[in-house]
């Protein structure tokens, strides 16, 4: 749980605190399309997208949002040209190094979900260092989904469950929804309340398939490099206006 946010911090945002989402997940789409519209190389869109990451993370930390999960690299993205993948790995490594001081200053906890295979050792090393450095922080939890796929996550969870059944540490009769949740990459994390997607695409792209069962969806035509703090506020305002019944009826 994040530390209590001061009245001065929340007063600049016009949504009652009790109506805010606790966990925001974001599909950061449209970097390449934004760059192409500007007549720039696709990789420049990824570079500009880092600025939107920085702004969104810092604003969530300022507001005291409990958790922010960002879809950084999907397991399907390995199909892209090697030059683009190399640049993405460079950006990821650079982000892990350059943002550490801000992460510590803003009391952010970093966690990463996804498979580690395919990611260069030097990048894994910087990721692990940032995770370790921020482990004792108590503020907003920043979860980065890297080499992540929702179906792959479920496969990995089922494999671990099957192993526990095989070695006798888990009874099949004890396998239920909570058991599966406890074996996902996101074990111990709250499910997202709000899922934001940029660039106007109306799909969830294999992202947190189990966890977003009851998330509110908010889609904007803005490409990710165009997404800034006011847009985050708009998404939260829209979320706050919705009537969430979770399959029941409100009295």
Structure tokens at 240: 């706050």
Catalytic residue among 77, 182, 206, 238: 77
Name the region of 164 (left: φ>0; alpha: ψ -120 to 50; beta: rest).
alpha
Question: Is 107 among the residues known to form the active site?
Answer: no
Asked if 182 is an active-site residue, the reply is: no
Q: Do 133 and 106 meet the contact criterion of CB atoms below 8 Å apart? A: no
Q: Among 14, 29, 107, 231, which one carries the catalytic annotation?
A: 29
**For residue 11, with 0-12 CB atoms within 10 Å meaning exposed, 13-18 middle and 19 or more buried, which class applies?**
exposed
* Helix pair angle (42-63, 229-240), 10° resolution: 60
Q: Which positions are catalytic?
A: 29, 77
């Amino acid at each position: 749980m994040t530390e209590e946010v001061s009245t001065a911090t929340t007063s600049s945002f016009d949504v009652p605190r009790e109506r805010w989402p606790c966990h925001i997940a974001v599909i950061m789409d449209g970097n390449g399309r934004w760059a192409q519209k500007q007549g720039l190389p696709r990789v420049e869109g990824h570079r500009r997208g880092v600025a939107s990451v920085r702004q969104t993370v810092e604003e969530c930390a300022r507001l005291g949002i409990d958790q922010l999960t960002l879809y950084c690299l999907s397991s399907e993205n390995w199909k892209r040209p090697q030059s683009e993948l190399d640049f993405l790995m460079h950006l990821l490594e650079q982000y892990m190094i350059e943002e550490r001081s801000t992460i510590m200053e803003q009391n952010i906890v970093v966690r990463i979900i996804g498979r580690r295979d395919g990611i260069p050792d030097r990048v894994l090393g910087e990721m692990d260092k940032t995770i370790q450095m921020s482990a004792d922080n108590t503020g907003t939890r920043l979860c980065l989904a890297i080499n992540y796929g929702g179906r792959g996550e479920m496969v990995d969870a089922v494999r671990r469950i099957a192993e526990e059944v095989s070695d006798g540490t888990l009874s099949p009769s004890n396998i239920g929804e909570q058991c599966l949740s406890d074996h996902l990459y996101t074990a111990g994390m709250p499910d997202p309340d709000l899922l934001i997607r940029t660039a106007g695409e109306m799909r969830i792209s294999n992202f947190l398939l189990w966890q977003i069962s009851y998330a509110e969806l908010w889609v904007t035509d803005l490409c990710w490099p165009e997404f800034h703090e006011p847009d985050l506020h708009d998404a939260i305002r829209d979320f706050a206006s919705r009537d969430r019944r979770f399959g029941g009826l409100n009295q």
